[in-house]
Structure 1
Amino acid sequence: MDEELILTELDFKAVRSSGPGGQHANKTATKVELSFDVANSKALSENEKNRILKKLSGRINKEGFLKMSNEDSRSQHTNKDVVTENFLFELKEALKRPKPRKKTKPTKASKVKRLKAKKKKSEIKANRKDPLK
């Protein structure tokens, strides 16, 4: 993953932010929407593209664009920085390989403990029965 090349492939669009804000919100476009074309990216290998498409499928639309937005701040520049930071974090998380699971065997002590618990439980249940039958 070439982070510098990815940053050049990002498309930003500023739109009006929702919610209260008075006159300032009515005349400025502070919400920033980021879109990234995963399938046509030159910064990612085919393997990385497939991994991202699989892991971030909820954020990717039918055209293959990964969309993110931010409107937390009243500053467009701050929102742009935050959405870019979040995008890079999500990308890195999606590309992380999970650690392979190591198979382990139960210890001898845990086997004995389990068998003792089963024996005790069966004795409790056996004592519930009517002795005359």
Structure 2
Amino acid sequence: MTKYIKVAQPSISKEAAGELESLQLHYSEKSEILKAAHEGKVGALKRLAEEDPDTLMSAIVNGFTVKKTPHEEIADYYFEAQKNMSIIGEDYEGTVNYQYELGKTEAVEFVLKELGLQVLGVNLDIVE
């Protein structure tokens, strides 16, 4: 029976992921990709190579996941609270659970307004 070891994939920035994917299209050997990342121009992948070479090597060998931007994390938090409110339903608006989720959405809206930030889908309309 073959046993498989699940290896954790590192999380890297969206910019570094794009640069790494581009290198993977041009080079077939992992050592060539690593060398190109180290010798690259200033960029997210070059910074990762200098600051955290172990994470870069792990991303090349094991694959990677893309980190969410702070805006995406805020939007996810907000939309999760809205989803929970719709699951609870308007008939239960007075319940603690509904009020808790409502408080989360209102807090996000308030903080974004006070800081003058805009997050797509939260306080910035999606334009089609």
TM bucket, shorter chain: under 0.3
Structure (1 or 2) with the greater strand fraction: 1
Structure (1 or 2) with the greater helix fraction: 2
Higher-Rg structure is: 1
What is the TM-score with the length of structure 2 in the denominator?
0.23
What is the TM-score with the length of structure 1 in the denominator?
0.23
Higher relative contact order (CA 8 A, sep 6+): 2
